[in-house]
């Protein structure tokens, strides 16, 4: 489906995949990322980030839980690692 032409300009992060689940809510920095830094731009500081996502079809989300993913992201360029999807109890705000 995607062509090289579409890949030349990256309008948003894809969490390491071409069709990642749609993220919503506020991305939260969980911790520092690996010390190797960013493999794309060489930025030395990357972060492990958690964000709520729409549940991907392969993930069963129990009642009262929400899907989220964790990935490593670079603050200086669009690079992001593949995301690990999981679910957690919904927080009520
Ligand atoms: Zn980078």
* CA atoms of 72 and 10, how far apart (whole Å): 17
- Around Cβ 18, how many Cβ atoms within 10 Å? 10
Helix (H, G, I), strand (E, B) or coil at 4: helix
- 14 Cα to the center of ligand 1, angstroms: 14
Phi, psi (5° rounding) for residue 6?
Answer: -70, -25
- 74 Cα to the center of ligand 1, angstroms: 5
pTM of the model: 0.73
Q: How many domains does the chain have?
A: 1
Region of poorest pLDDT, from 10-14, 39-43, 48-52, 56-60? 10-14
- 47 Cα to the center of ligand 1, angstroms: 11
- 90 Cα to the center of ligand 1, angstroms: 31
- Per-range mean pLDDT, top range of 12-16, 17-21, 45-49, 75-79: 45-49
> Containing domain of residue 81, as a range?
3-89
pLDDT for 23 equals: 83
């Amino acid at each position: 489906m995607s062509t090289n032409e579409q890949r030349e300009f990256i309008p948003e992060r894809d969490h390491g995949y071409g069709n990642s689940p749609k993220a919503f809510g506020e991305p939260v920095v969980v911790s520092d990322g690996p010390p190797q830094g960013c493999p794309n731009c060489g930025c030395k500081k990357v972060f492990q980030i958690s964000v709520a996502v729409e549940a991907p079809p392969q993930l069963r989300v129990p009642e009262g839980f929400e899907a989220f993913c964790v990935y490593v992201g670079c603050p200086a360029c669009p690079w992001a690692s593949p995301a690990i999807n999981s679910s957690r109890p919904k927080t009520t705000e």
